[in-house]
């Protein structure tokens, strides 16, 4: 598609993904009480965005409390070298983790 888009259209917050492939991000290091889909072992780590996965999804962390209206957000496939996760990692320096994390847990690096 190379048609020019109409100018002057303002998008709502969250309509476009904040990050794209190749961006460096930090995963929040917070510990809220409740149902969270971010494992402890990656909190506070930095990662590279490998891909934006599909279209926005209902934020299942809010859905877990029965709230789902207007709660869609983007989520990402992140790459983190295993040697950065575990100081004593035994294995190739190329070995890595891939994990999906939703936008509300990511900060730009």
Partner 1 sequence: MHIHDHTPIVGPDDAPSYYEVMETAVRKLLIEKQLIGPDEIRRQIEVLDSRTPALGAKVIAKAWLDPEFRARLIANGRRACEELGITFYDDTELIVLENTDKIHNLIVCTLCSCYPRPVLGLPPDWYKLKPYRARAVKEPRKVLAEFGTPIDDDVEIRVSDSTSAVRYLVLPQRPPGTEKFTEEELASLVTRDAMIGVTKVSTERRNIQ
Contact residues: partner 1, CB under 8 A: 37-39, 41, 53-54, 57, 60, 75, 77, 82, 85-86, 89-92, 94-102
Cα 85 to the center of its chain, rounded Å: 17
- Provide, rounded to whole angstroms, the least separation between the CB of residue 94 and partner 1: 4
Q: Which is nearer to partner 1, 18 or 72 (CB)?
A: 72
Q: Which is nearer to partner 1, 18 or 37 (CB)?
A: 37
> How many CA atoms does the CB half-sphere of 105 hold within 13 Å?
28
C-alpha 6/C-alpha 22 separation (Å) is 28
- Provide, rounded to whole angstroms, the least separation between the CB of residue 70 and partner 1: 18
Please report, for residues 2, 4, 22, 40, 48, the alpha-carbon distance to residue 76 in angstroms, rounded to integers and kept in the order given: 26, 28, 11, 17, 10
Q: Which is nearer to partner 1, 6 or 62 (CB)?
A: 62
- Provide, rounded to whole angstroms, the least separation between the CB of residue 9 and partner 1: 28
């Amino acid at each position: 598609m190379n048609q020019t888009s109409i100018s002057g259209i303002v998008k709502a917050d969250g309509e476009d993904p904040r990050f794209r492939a190749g961006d460096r991000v930090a995963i929040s290091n917070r510990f809220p009480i409740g149902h969270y889909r971010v494992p402890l072992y990656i909190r506070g780590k930095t990662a590279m965005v490998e891909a934006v996965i599909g279209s926005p999804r209902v934020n299942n962390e809010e859905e877990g409390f029965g709230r789902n209206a207007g709660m869609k957000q983007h989520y990402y496939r992140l790459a983190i070298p295993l040697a950065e996760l575990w100081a004593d990692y035994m294995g190739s320096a190329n070995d890595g983790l891939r994990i999906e994390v939703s936008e509300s847990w990511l900060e730009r690096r």
